[in-house]
Homo-oligomer: A and B are copies of this chain.
Amino acid sequence: MRKTYDIETLIQNFKNKDKVALAKLITLVENEPDKALEIFKHFDNSDKDSYIIGITGSPGVGKSTLINILAKQLLDEGKSVGVISVDPSSPFSGGAFLGDRVRMTEVSLDPNIFIRSLASRGHGGGISRAVFDISLLYEAFGMDVIIIETVGVGQSEVDIYNLTYTTVVIMVPGYGDSIQIQKAGIIEVGDIYVVNKKDLGGEDIVVQLEMMLDDATVQTGWRPPALMTNSISGEGIDKLVEKILEHKNHLELSEALKKKKKNRFEYKIRNLLTYKVGKVLESLISEEEREKISNSILEGGKYKIYDLVHDLFRNIKFEKKKESSK
């Protein structure tokens, strides 16, 4: 049987800065999306916002090590930090290969940091659903900075771009000429570019990045810098922190931060609506109906798939009720 938590008690402890309560609430929203409504009812309006940084890059570029040092520096400055690390893992296991223990060991004992690893798949409503919910819990907990780590080339940058204020894209030398950089689909997504493992070279890739960043249309007035770091020795991390702060200041001065915050919540609103409708559909369309359709498709009727779904949908009526007086 599933252990039930008393949410009221958890919230009380959470408000008293109890990290165990934070951990349990994260587990709750991670596994049961519908619990978010119940949990966040307990929080009042707040003027305090966390600053949200995204760190993205292919597996193996050294994101975790870099976040480790970055977090250490923030902690030394008296900031509190929440980390959400999205570990890709098997779609079948549903769990992260490398848990909190393997990574981030250096800083993880500090009382002002909390680290959570997520599997990248198998979350009800998708990974960005869980990442948003956890980031909102970190905000309610009073974290000054939230760092979201994703492996992402491919479609995931779009997500991180929607959830963060400053996006840092990490690359490594010896792995890309200019076409590789383009293929990675990252220009115009990053606010700061980092070539890590500079002991392996990397001047070439920085030069190519700089050229491409010059060419890229800069709509916000921010020209993304390209830095070199060595996350093992810590070289270049000062500069990275400096650039993150510069970008933060830029966003605040240009009102772009407000726009990014708005975008973050609008993105979540769309996600929530889609999730809720999905649940309604599940209840309205029976397993039998689905089975009937997929059988008829498999029996040679594959070109009818659009038609069949269209019919299924035609039987569902959507209606807007008059504005309730609630």
Interface residues of A (CB under 8 A from B): 36-37, 40-41, 43-47, 49, 58-60, 87-93, 97-98, 120-121, 127, 136, 139-140, 150-158, 161, 174-176, 179-180, 182-185, 187-189, 217, 258, 261-262, 265-266, 268-269, 272-274, 276-278, 280-281, 284-285, 290, 293-294, 297-298, 300-321, 323-324, 326
**Inter-subunit contact B90/A183 (CB<8 Å):** no
Q: A92-B188, A261-B298 are in contact. Are A60 and B150 (CB under 8 A)?
A: no
Which residues in B have their C-beta under 8 angstroms from that of A151? 153-154, 183-185
List 5 additional A-B contacts (Cβ < 8 Å) besides A276-B310, A318-B318: A45-B301, A92-B217, A120-B185, A272-B309, A274-B274
The contact of A273 among B120, B285, B301, B318, by CB within 8 Å, is B285
**Inter-subunit contact A182/B91 (CB<8 Å):** no
Which residues in B have their C-beta under 8 angstroms from that of A309? 269, 272-273, 276
**Inter-subunit contact A265/B90 (CB<8 Å):** no
**Inter-subunit contact B314/A324 (CB<8 Å):** yes
Give A58 to B61 CA distance when docked, in angstroms: 12
**A319 to chain B: closest residue by CB:** B317
**Inter-subunit contact B305/A268 (CB<8 Å):** yes
| A/B interface sample: 14 pairs, CB < 8 A | A46-B302, A90-B189, A91-B189, A92-B217, A97-B183, A120-B185, A152-B154, A261-B298, A268-B305, A273-B309, A276-B310, A311-B326, A316-B319, A317-B317
The contact of A40 among B276, B304, B315, by CB within 8 Å, is B304
**Inter-subunit contact B307/A276 (CB<8 Å):** no
**Inter-subunit contact A300/B45 (CB<8 Å):** yes
Give A41 to B305 CA distance when docked, in angstroms: 10
**Inter-subunit contact A40/B305 (CB<8 Å):** yes
**A121 to chain B: closest residue by CB:** B158
Which residues in B have their C-beta under 8 angstroms from that of A176? 59-60
Give A303 to B137 CA distance when docked, in angstroms: 9
Q: A59-B183, A154-B120 are in contact. Are A306 and B88 (CB under 8 A)?
A: no
Give A306 to B35 CA distance when docked, in angstroms: 10
**Inter-subunit contact A59/B180 (CB<8 Å):** yes
**Inter-subunit contact A88/B185 (CB<8 Å):** yes
Which residues in B have their C-beta under 8 angstroms from that of A156? 154-156
Which residues in B have their C-beta under 8 angstroms from that of A314? 324, 326
Q: A296 to nearest B CB, angstroms?
A: 10
**A87 to chain B: closest residue by CB:** B183
Give A139 to B305 CA distance when docked, in angstroms: 14
Which residues in B have their C-beta under 8 angstroms from that of A47? 300
**Inter-subunit contact A300/B98 (CB<8 Å):** no
**Inter-subunit contact A60/B180 (CB<8 Å):** yes
Which residues in B have their C-beta under 8 angstroms from that of A277? 274, 277-278, 280-281
Which residues in B have their C-beta under 8 angstroms from that of A304? 40, 45
**Inter-subunit contact A269/B315 (CB<8 Å):** no
**Inter-subunit contact A316/B321 (CB<8 Å):** yes
